[in-house]
Amino acid sequence: MRIRTYMGVSVDGFVATPDGWPVVLSMPEWAGRESYGLPELLETSGAAVMGRATFEPAVGAPKWPWPGLEVFVLTSSPLPDGAPDGIVTEAEPAALLERMREAPFEGDVHLIGGPKTIEAFLSIGALDQLGILKLPLIVGGGVPFSSSGIEMQRLALESERAFPDGAVELLYRVD
């Protein structure tokens, strides 16, 4: 089991706009699960892990975004009403990691979410691959890719590819 993330980041380093929307949604080519390198990532994933802020909007969505995947949520609060059965929650990343290791699924774990969740798994040495989709956008403000308190982390480039719209996929192994 590898924990892998894949997130859109603007050229100026933001993952979400000032109003909280992921910057990747500003790309005309964005088509959800079929976009950029997501099909390849999802093909090898048996589970998804995310923070509560990413999970909550899915509860009321017309279509469940993670069909066929085990879902794990990093949160210290109860899940909202209407959350599907079988969602595993823990308040601490190490405890959630242990629950993922014990769960009966095959494949990798797709870490979905923002910088806090990524940083939580980085801090316990549990992130195996950091996927960045560098977007040809200048946002000017919003949610930065990382907080100012994160420790420096060495990454090794595994692959890169450019898309026709100018987006560039960078897949890094976390050492």
pLDDT tens-digit map of 59-84: 888 888 888 899 999 999 999 988 99
pTM equals 0.90
* Cα–Cα distance, 99 to 162 (Å, whole number): 36
- The class that CATH gives domain 3-174 is alpha beta
Long-range contacts of 125-128 (CB under 8 A, 24+ apart): 126/3, 126/93, 126/97, 127/3, 127/4, 127/5, 127/174, 128/2, 128/3, 128/4, 128/173, 128/174
Looking at the predicted structure, is the pLDDT value of residue 160 above 90? yes
Q: In the 3-class helix/strand/coil scheme, how is 103-141 assigned residue by residue?
A: CCCCCEEEECCCHHHHHHHHHCCCCCEEEEEEECCCCCC
Looking at the predicted structure, is the pLDDT value of residue 162 above 90? yes
Q: What is the pLDDT of residue 62?
A: 87
The Cβ of residue 30 has, within 10 Å, a number of other Cβ atoms equal to 19
Contact 146, 9 (CB under 8 A): no
State pLDDT tens for residues 126-146.
999 999 999 999 999 999 998
Q: What is the pLDDT of residue 21?
A: 84
**Mean pLDDT for all residues in the chain:** 91
Mean predicted confidence (pLDDT) in 145-174: 90
Residue with the larger pLDDT of the pair 158 and 82: 158
Q: What is the pLDDT of residue 148?
A: 67
Looking at the predicted structure, is the pLDDT value of residue 34 above 70? yes
Q: Quick one: what percent of the chain has pLDDT higher than 70? A: 99
Residue with the larger pLDDT of the pair 115 and 138: 138
How deeply is 33 buried, as exposed, middle or buried, from its count of CB atoms within 10 A (0-12, 13-18, 19+)?
exposed
Looking at the predicted structure, is the pLDDT value of residue 31 above 90? no
